[in-house]
Amino acid sequence: MIDVQRVPSGLADLVARQQITDCIVRLFEYTDTRDWDGIRTCLTDTVDFDMTSVAGGEPATVSAEQIIAGWKEGLAPIEFLHHQAGNFQITVRGREADASCYGIAMHYRRTPSGRNTRTFVGTYDFTLVSSPNEQWRITAFRFNLKFIDGNADLT
């Protein structure tokens, strides 16, 4: 891990932006492979978490373990997951950063109806933090659903 505070500012910003992008991409890859320990390395101890555009309710500050437990349970019936992210926009402010990206999440589960997939399309907003010699971690996570296509219930 490169300590961005010791690198010239222009280069430090590029390094930080790449590390932030890598953190977000790892979060999606770890989710797809159900690497719950890997996901934990991408999150701070507590996260301002907002999935209300999909699930309703209210945004909340929750522990990383609660997020992982919820995903573990909610994704258990899904046979295959695939997240794709792009169009990253990142603003670095020292050891804090805001990031956004487009995202597509596909879920596959064989169903009696033959309607085996659902696709979530939207954007993500993140806030990340870093401490000296430590990787960037997500401290705020919001998904902004644009639409769902396919079998929304996968039943």
**What tokens were used for 34?**
């159900």
Pairing of strands 43-50, 137-150: parallel
Pairing of strands 137-150, 80-93: unpaired
Of residues 28 and 9, more confidence is placed in 28
The domains located in the chain, with CATH, are 4-150 (3.10.450.50)
- The pLDDT of residue 11: 87
| pLDDT tens, position by position, 75-104 | 999 999 999 999 999 999 999 999 999 999
Report the chain's mean pLDDT, rounded to a whole number. Answer: 93
Given a cut of 90, is residue 106 above it in pLDDT? Answer: yes
| pLDDT tens, position by position, 130-152 | 977 779 999 999 999 999 999 99
Cα–Cα–Cα angle for 80, 67, 74, rounded to 5 degrees = 40
Identity of residue 80: F
**What tokens were used for 25?**
């991409």
Say if pTM beats, i.e. exceeds, 0.75: yes
- The pLDDT of residue 131: 78
Q: Name the DSSP class of 68.
A: H
| Cα-based distances in Å from 124 to 16, 47, 76, 145 | 19, 14, 23, 9
- The pLDDT of residue 10: 82
Q: Which helix (H) or strand (E) holds 12?
A: helix 9-33
Residue 47's pLDDT band (boundaries 50, 70, 90)? very high
Measured between its terminal Cα atoms, the distance across the chain in Å is: 44
